[in-house]
């Protein structure tokens, strides 16, 4: 194979590999989370998520409700999960790496009134948790 052709192949392969990694949200074990509304308010299910220190996980959040919801924990001292809006019926993925020490963070929907209606889950980093 001539040098220019080889270079083109390498560049094309690089672009494909890089392009995939640039548009993917993945890593570690997937944790399924459901968001929605019910008669007594709004919810994330499960209401508590436990991960091991340093674990890389991907939350897969499905909005089964009829209105928009958010999934976030980005204020000072929180988990550092940027907000993402989940339209009704849609699924969104969020990758996150747990800190190396034990901690508990609130993850919530920050749309007006939603957190007060119960839309919050506790994200716990607990040593001796089975590595995900």
Site string for other proteins, 4-43 (x = CB under 8 A): ---------------x-xxxxx------------------
Examine residue 94 and tell whether it contacts other proteins (CB under 8 A): yes
Q: With the C-alpha atoms ordered 42, 48, 51, 53, is the resulting torsion angle positive or negative? A: positive
Examine residue 110 and tell whether it contacts other proteins (CB under 8 A): yes
Examine residue 83 and tell whether it contacts other proteins (CB under 8 A): yes
Q: How would DSSP label each residue in the chain? A: --HHHHHHHHHHHHHHHHHHHHH----SEEEEEEEEEETTEEEEESSEEEE-TT-EEEEEEEE-SSS-EEEEE-STTS--EEEEEE-TT-EEEEEEE--SS-EEEEEE--STTTTTTT-EEEEEE-TTPPP-
Q: Say how many residues make up the chain.
A: 132
Binding residue (CB under 8 A) for other proteins from 60, 111, 117, 122: 111
Nearer CB in complex with other proteins: 55/94? 94
Q: Judged by CB under 8 A, which stretch of 5-13, 76-84, 97-105, 122-130 contacts other proteins? A: 76-84
Examine residue 92 and tell whether it contacts other proteins (CB under 8 A): yes
Binding footprint of other proteins on the chain (CB under 8 A): 19, 21-25, 70, 75-76, 82-85, 87, 90, 92-94, 110-112
């Amino acid at each position: 194979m001539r040098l220019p052709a080889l270079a083109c192949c390498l560049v094309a392969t690089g672009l494909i590999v890089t392009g995939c990694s640039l548009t993917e949200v993945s890593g570690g074990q997937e944790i399924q989370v459901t968001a929605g509304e019910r008669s007594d308010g709004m919810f994330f299910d499960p209401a508590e998520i436990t991960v091991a220190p340093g674990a890389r996980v991907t939350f897969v959040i499905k909005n089964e409700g009829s209105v928009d919801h958010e999934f976030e924990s980005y204020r000072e001292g929180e988990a550092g999960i940027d907000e993402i809006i989940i339209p009704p019926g849609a699924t969104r993925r969020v990758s996150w790496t747990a800190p190396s020490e034990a901690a508990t963070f609130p993850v919530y929907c920050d749309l007006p009134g939603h957190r007060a209606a119960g839309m919050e889950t506790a994200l716990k980093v607990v040593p001796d948790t089975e590595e995900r």
